[in-house]
Structure 1
């Protein structure tokens, strides 16, 4: 998978698996449980204590601190690939819409701390502050997309 698609694949996986709900617990008719933002199966964790393939308590996958969830999901993706998640395979594998829209977001292109760069007329970006633009026509579609998508809303700031 090309590097420029990687972030979009994670966002799509989160959107399709949990609808961005870090507290989601899914119990299948078979009794198998899936936890949190990435819907991590119970084999990767243990209830009420650390364990499983990610050495984590399952309950820790159900809070708003997603650092441990993400570490576990990255481990799974390195061992199994994105196809480990059925909804990614069914709904994200061949769909580059999210990736395409994310990479239109100017905040993803930053410079080292303290440096500013003008990437297009009316747009300046820096590592320690978001890109701002006074020329909304230079970013067609991003304003409405950012307002609709919470992942983009946090990183796109209108001047």
Structure 2
């Protein structure tokens, strides 16, 4: 028995709201412009939504940055292309998430703590927040989800190191 069919975005340019949850709470909520929805992947564009600058050491997210975000309904990750205000590619920030759900103009994604950063030149590929993932206790509460999350991180890292993430986003 299949569930309800997912909402599809009618056309690019439509406004929607992206909601990123973590541990059952809303982490961040922001407006985005729909770019494309093929029924499996939803692509949106939005300015850097957090207040101020976030310096990770390997990249700075700051006002003026624009993110083109790719969410899948059937994959356990989201890939966010990060560009500065002049359009220069900084790299890709990848969140390991449960598959995205689009309903009523709201795109909801559950963050599972693991992340991957890939620099614009592909020379730097960093696995992030593995300690937070372990501390989250997901492996004990939902071993299948934890396994899917680790497999998704491994898949993204392999793609980044071999083919480049751009091939995933074609």
Same fold (TM over 0.5): no
The structure with the largest helix share of the pair is 1
TM-score, normalization by structure 2:
0.23
TM-score by length of 1: 0.24
Question: Which structure: larger Rg?
Answer: 1
More strand by share: 2
